[in-house]
Chains A and B, each alone.
Chain A
Amino acid sequence: SNDASPAGGGGEAGAAPTASADCPLASAADPGNSAPPTGVPMATAAPKLPVKDTYTVAFSQNASNNPWRLAETASMREEAEERGHQLTVTDANNEQAKQIQDIKGLIAQKPDALFIAPITEQLGNVVVEAAAAGIPVFLLDRDVDNTVAKPGEQFVTVIVSDFVQQGKRAAWAMAKATGGNAKIIELEGTTGSSPAIDRKKGFDEAITQCPGLEVVVSQSADFTRAEGQSVTETLLQSHPDATAIYAHNDEMALGAIAAVRAAGKVPGSDIQVVSIDGSRDALTAVDAGELFATVESNPRFGPRAFDTMEQYAREGQVPVQLVLEDRLFDKANAAQNIATAY
């Protein structure tokens, strides 16, 4: 599955159809990233980290079965390399049980610090075990159940992605693309995954402002291109009146675009497509005018993660929640970002 996070930036919406009066979104500006959380407590009770110039650190990644995850891992590796830290990476191959096993294995090796990209919010117990073993834990891109593992105590901080906000921005882009009038097919991510749940939540919430925006059917397509294509083919046939598609990630959107073409319609004019991630292929599609916009879900956690770690070592405290900033790519800024996209 995929992920991302909040804060400013974002290009200007491209040439939008005339905004329909009863859809504030269509005329509003990009909501951007959610305001940085204010009054976040500082992590104080978590295991301390001595000041050294290099550390042995471990990173438990939950899967390597999609570009986003690979980009996240790569960013961690590069940054560790950069700063001369010795990094151990494990990969849970998308199995919760295995990630728990991995983490326990890592704990047994007593690294200076432990980074975890939790597969679900349900890894509280192992995080607690890590804390018990005196290892400071930093969570990446997803939180764990805070009733089990207390932020600032059992783990230092979580650098989150704000999936809900991404959904809201996608809704905004959708409004721009369609002038606030659209019958939308929603392609959900893997059933039960938090990005799928939150990106749906954010989007559905936002479009309530616009009676003209209606989700006519919503189906899971497992975050994959092939599924995105076949599901869309089927839905286009049973919902011929659909005029737009909102996909929870770029891969599904790219599949959907192919399906739209196959159905003899023109993506970008007959049917508007909006998605989330900001992958290279997606930006290319945006530039080609087939994809209206894609909300970035920044996978580059490396710099922020290690900054935070080193800061924690120096100052003994950091906010228990941090957010990564996402951009929004549309016709205006897609081209110049293709080269740097993952």
Chain B
Amino acid sequence: MADAPLLQMRGIDKSFAGVPALTGVDLSVPAGEVRALIGQNGAGKSTLIKVLTGVHRRDAGQVELDGRPVDFGSVHEAQRAGVATIYQEVNLVPYRSLAENVCIGRAPRRFGLLDWRAINAEARERLAALDVHVDVTRPLHEFPIATQQMTAIARALSFDARLVVMDEPTSSLAEHEVGVLLDVVRRLRDSGVAVVFVSHRLDELYAVCDTITVLRDGRCVADAPLAELSKYEVVSAMLGRALTESERRGRHVGAARAAGAPTVLEARDLHRPPALNGSSVSVRRGEVVGLAGLLGSGRSETARALFGADPVTGGEMRLAGEPVAFSSPRDAIRAGLGFNSEDRKADGIVPDLSVRENLTLALLPRLTRRGVVDRGRQQEIVDRFVARLGIRMASPDQPVRELSGGNQQKVLLARWLCTDPRLLILDEPTRGIDVGAKQEIAELVDELADDGLSVLLVSSELEELINGCDRVVVLRDGETVRELAGADISEDAIVQAMAEGSAGAGEHGDA
């Protein structure tokens, strides 16, 4: 062809321990194009990206940049060649300031020494360009995961690269940030940058992408202009099967469940400054309650407080009417609670342990007789839930770190489901999960609720809340500001409640 595409990958093979993750994958992106990369969890998206950027060595195939064959040995080389990448999990340095995380590696200097004023100024600008206005001199770990994600994006953009690769950059972002990011992507394209964009959210893909590559089981199953494919075609290509009825319609909860059912858990006026300033939630038996709010509104903190993961400075909790105070997650679990945290890597998986052990970790006390684990029952439970959630892995003995992001998430869900709790708290449960699995999980939650399980669902995806919840509690600055039920649950209502009078969002409204 006349002008070779900026990026051209041909016949890429990559296998781990003889298990193929990629087989003969092609990917080409011309300058000024946004290429969507989609596939089920474990399809090989991240692997393809890591092969491209020199994290993994490919077993076979060629990679050409600007028509010249390349073989990056390290991320550093890739960067120098003009490839900037945002990896799936936030990968920054916790103890260092936002500014340093944005600029380190190519920081401005004076007299050969780092020029901190310039560094902070630049970082402030770049984050402001993403509509993030924070004190860039604070260490990264003090900020919510979303801010961390935006920082990673700012860093990637700061390289003024010719090719920008984004692996699920939006999975931990809420509507607004997503909007900002998509604008950025458009701007990049218009300025002739090539972009590879991975996401499980079809709307986002259709909003910015020109062409799409669909992976299934490590193979390319589709490569076309996005305009030529309908969502359904994309999804069925990805799943390798036609969609079910419910998947087509997207389900909708009818009349609120468990209207009169007894209250399982009730929390009033929880305080834990600065994050929590009076958040109240109650969940009835068999009810799915959504927890909505802007980033940093205290949803996760509320969830953690309920679960006894963090001590509260004020407020009261009742379990089935009885006042309770969990001093540790252990107490909460004993009382029949489960909590799936939002940060899979830090608070979820035990990387070196096998899928089996990760899955049954919370259940252990009940799996043991006189301190000895009942391996038979353990195996039986593992098999059951692996099948039920369709976890893809080589064997239950595979270290969980080797599973794809989405499958790790499923293992964690199974960890709690197998304890068959009265109340399950899910913080961003579908973060980084493919549409197929997402659907399955949504239905699972539904099903469980019908069987009498109560669910508290934290999500940044309004759609999820609207479709899945009987009630939605809205937080702002760590305070419950609105409660919507049944028919009142609507995007507008929620958004209005979240944002209402939120001129000062960004500060903590210590009211």
Indicate if A touches B (C-beta under 8 A). Answer: no
